[in-house]
Structure 1
Amino acid sequence: MADPKVIHSTFVLERKFSKPAATVFAALSEPEKVRQWFTDEKNSETLEFSLRFAVGGSRRLVYRLGPTTPVAGMVIINDGYFQDIVPNERIVTATTMTSGDKRLEASLTTFELLPSDEGTDLVCTVQGAFFEGLGPDPVGLIKAGWNGLLNKLMSVVNAE
């Protein structure tokens, strides 16, 4: 059987915060805070970042992968569109990832903020269609990327 042209996958990542949902939500919605955790200045050069946080609004990140990455110099365009926002409870974003004229991914990402005795539990669910061009393990690559982003998000929230 030939390699699939598209791989469908859903994965769930969770983080526990000692801060209230409003603090976590702010880190997910305020442009200056989102830029702190959503961009990767160590391994890439950010060429463009914009965020209009509203239902129907968008988030755009354009970056060039750095010399320590497997595909140094590749420019990635990540476009997200906010589908649903419930303050301090939920954010749903439809996202595409493109390089040149090649679509690499189309996905739906849901952040759920759940109150806990310690503060807030974050449940991040990614439902994706991953296309050629992401290497032999596209799901693992995207999942590792999201784990890194959520770790950075924790640092931003904990600094509050």
Structure 2
Amino acid sequence: MEPQPVLPSTFVIERRYPASRERVFAALSREDQKRRWYADRDGREGTEFEMDFRVGGRSISRTRMGADTPFEGVELVSEEYFHNIVPDRRIVSAATMTLGGRPISVALLTIELVATDSGTDLICTHQAVFLEGADGPEMREHGWRVLFDRLGAILPEA
């Protein structure tokens, strides 16, 4: 059986948060804060999350998909490597995702933070190739939108 062609995709998500750029960056870069909005998600069990936030460092998230998904009990692993960090301004990382041990995507993620009079604008550019069995660009974009909503919800407490 021949592999299916890869599906390349780019999307941009923008969010405006009523919090300082420093606070938003802390929620992206501190393991305890990122865990709250990124790893501790409804519908998934057994989440493990570790982050070594530095250039050359990595973040890894392992979860078991919940009963409300088509992949109940299957392990989803996201492994991210940090390539460029400008404190309070930018994070560039590359990530792979596997589902049940099979690679489903490789992505380049650029997050930019811009100070505004009312807080911070977050601009996320997600460039990826989706492989066989992947969730696809629409689902991935939806997932990131949900995550950035969760990020916004924890900022007052961060």
Aligned residue number for residue 18 of structure 2: 18
Distance 2:149 2:46 in 1: 19
Aligned partner of 2:104 in structure 1 is 104
Give the 5 Å matches for 1:59-78: 59-78=59-78
Give me the CA root mean square deviation: 1.6
Aligned to 1:50: 50
**Residue among 143, 151, 154 paired with 1:153:** 151
Residue 33 of structure 2 corresponds to which residue in structure 1?
A: 33
Task: Report the Cα offset of residue 101 of structure 1.
Answer: 3.4
- Is 1:141 aligned with 2:139? yes
How far, CA to CA, are the matches of 1:153 and 1:94 in structure 2? 20
Unaligned runs of 5+ in 1: none
Question: Does the CA contact (< 8 Å) of 1:134 and 1:141 recur in 2?
Answer: no
Q: Secondary structure at the match of 1:103?
A: strand
Q: Secondary structure at the match of 2:70?
A: coil
Asked whether the equivalents of residues 92 and 111 of structure 1 are also in contact (C-alpha less than 8 Å), the reply is yes
Output the TM-score relative to the length of structure 1: 0.93
Contact 1:39–1:46, Cα closer than 8 Å, also in 2: no
2:16 matched to 1:8?
Answer: no
Cα contact 2:39–2:48 (8 A) shared by 1: no
Following TM superposition, by how much is the alpha carbon of 1:157 offset from its aligned partner in structure 2, in angstroms?
A: 1.1
Deviations 1:9-42 (A, max 9, x none): 1100011011110000000000010000111431
CA distance in 2, matches of 1:5, 1:132: 8
1:149 & 1:115 partners in 2: Cα distance?
21
Equivalence for 1:80 = 80
Structure 2 gaps of 5+ residues are none
Q: In the comparison of the two structures, how many residue pairs are matched?
A: 157
Q: TM-score, normalised by structure 2?
A: 0.94
Q: 1:3: how far off? A: 9.5
Secondary structure of residue in 1 paired with 2:56: coil
**Secondary structure at 1:158 match in 2:** coil
